[in-house]
Amino acid sequence: MVQRMIQEEKRQLRDLQMDCLDEWVTHYRSFSGEGQCAAYIPALEKANPFDLGICIIGPGGTVIKSGDWHVSFTLQSISKVISFIAACLGRGISYVLERVDVEPTGDPFNSIIRLEMHKPGKPFNPMINAGAITVASLLPGESPQNKIESLCTIIESIVGKRPTINEAVFQSEWQTAHRNRALAYYLKETGFLEVEVEEALEIYLKQCAIEVNAEDIAMIGLILAHDGYHPLRNEQIIPKEVARLTKSLMLTCGMYNASGKFAAFVGIPAKSGVSGGIMALVPPRSRQEVPFPNGCGIGIYGPAIDEYGNSHAGVMLLRHIAEKWDLSIF
C-alpha cells in the first residue's frame, strides 16, 4: 500500500515540472510589499518581509520545497490547533467543548466584543484568542511548564524533534500583551479559565512562541489530512474524531475573519499565525490524475501579513496552487 503510494507520488511529481513551484514563489514574493510584518509584537517586526517559502509533504514521504522554507518562525496562532488537540486528548472532547464553542465569529482574532454580548460569555471557538487562552488553561499538566510540555510532546511525536520556545519572542509579547491580558481577566471573571490569569497567559504566549519551519508544519498538516494517522510511521497519533473536529475548525475559523473567503477561493482546511505561517492540508482525493491524489500537508512562511493577520503572499501562493492543482475539497 505504502509502496504503491510512493510510486504514485513520484509519478505525479515527474509530470508536475517542479520548476513551476519555484516560479510561483518568485512571482508571489513580489507581492509581499503589500503586507507588513506584525508590529504589535515587537520581535516579529524584525522578520524579512520578503521571505516566502513553502514545503509540501505527501503520505509516501515525498517532500517538495521552495524559497525560504527553512527559515524558523514562531507558531503564533497555528499553536491553537495543537493546543486544542492536546486539550481534547487530555481532558476529552466534551469537557473541552463545554468551555469553548465551535462557531466562527467573523470578528478579528483578538476581539473581545462577543464575550459580553453573548451570555454566559463562552468563547466562540478555539481559534480566536479568547478561545485559545481558555484552551491553554485546560491543557493537561499541573504547571504552565507541564502544560507546554504536553504540546511539545505532540509536536515531537509528529515532526520527530522536540521544538524549542523562542524566549525573545515570548518576552516581547509578554510585555505588550495588554489586550490578551484583558481577555484573560474577563474569562477569569466569567469562570472559563481553569488557572490564574498570569499562568494562562504564560502558557498561551509560550505556545505561540514555539519555533518551527515550513517543513514542520507541513508534517503536522499531513497527519491531520490522514485523520490523525502518521503515514510515514504507521501510527495513529491523534484519534480520528479529534482530527476531524480540528479540521472543521480550521476550515471555518482557521484564517480568522477571512475564513469564509479562504474556504471559497482556496477551499482547504488551514490555520495561519501572525508571524506569517500557514499550515494547510489536502485530504486524499478520489481523482488519481491530480497532484498528490493521496493528500498532503502544506507549510508556508511569508511574514508580511494582510489586514486580517494572514500571510499576504502566502495566501496568494496557496490560492494559485489550489487552482492549478485542483486542491479544493468542495
Ligand X SMILES: NC(=O)CC[C@H](N)C(=O)O
Q: Give yes or no: 328 in active site.
A: no
CA 252 – CA 258 distance, rounded (Å): 10
Respond yes or no: is residue 150 known to be catalytic. no
Among 173, 202, 215, 306, binds ligand X (CB under 6 A): 173
Q: How many positions of this chain bind ligand X (CB under 6 A)?
A: 11
C-alpha cell at 269: 482546511
Candidate residues 104, 295, 309, 314; the one interacting with ligand X per rule CB under 6 A: 309
274 is in an annotated binding site: yes
Give yes or no for a cis peptide into 49 (omega within 30° of 0): no
Which helix (H) or strand (E) is 220 found in, with range?
A: helix 214-225
C-alpha cell, 147: 502544560
Active site residue 77: yes
Helices (H) and strands (E) in the chain, counts: 14, 9
272: CB partners within 8 A, 6+ apart = 77, 78, 254, 255, 256, 278, 279, 309, 310, 311, 314, 315
Q: How far is the CB of 261 from ligand X (least distance, A)?
A: 16
Beta pairing partners, 53? 67, 301
Which residues, 266 to 285, sit near ligand X by CB under 6 A?
273-274
Q: Is 256 a residue of the active site?
A: yes
Nearer to ligand X, 263 or 279 (CB): 279
Using CB under 6 A as the criterion, what x/- string covers residues 222-261 for binding ligand X? ----------------------------------------
Q: Are strands 73-74 and 229-230 parallel, antiparallel or unpaired?
A: unpaired
Q: Where are the beta strands (DSSP E) in the chain?
A: 53-57, 63-67, 73-74, 211-212, 229-230, 235-236, 270-272, 277-282, 296-301
Q: Is 48 annotated as a binding residue?
A: no
Q: Active site includes 204?
A: yes
Residue 276 or 291 having the CB closest to ligand X: 276
Residue 208 found at the interface with ligand X (CB under 6 A): yes
Site for ligand X, rule CB under 6 A:
76-77, 109-110, 129, 173, 180, 208, 273-274, 309
Residues forming the active site? 77, 80, 204, 256, 274
Residue ranges of the binding site for substrate: 77, 129, 173, 180, 204, 256, 274
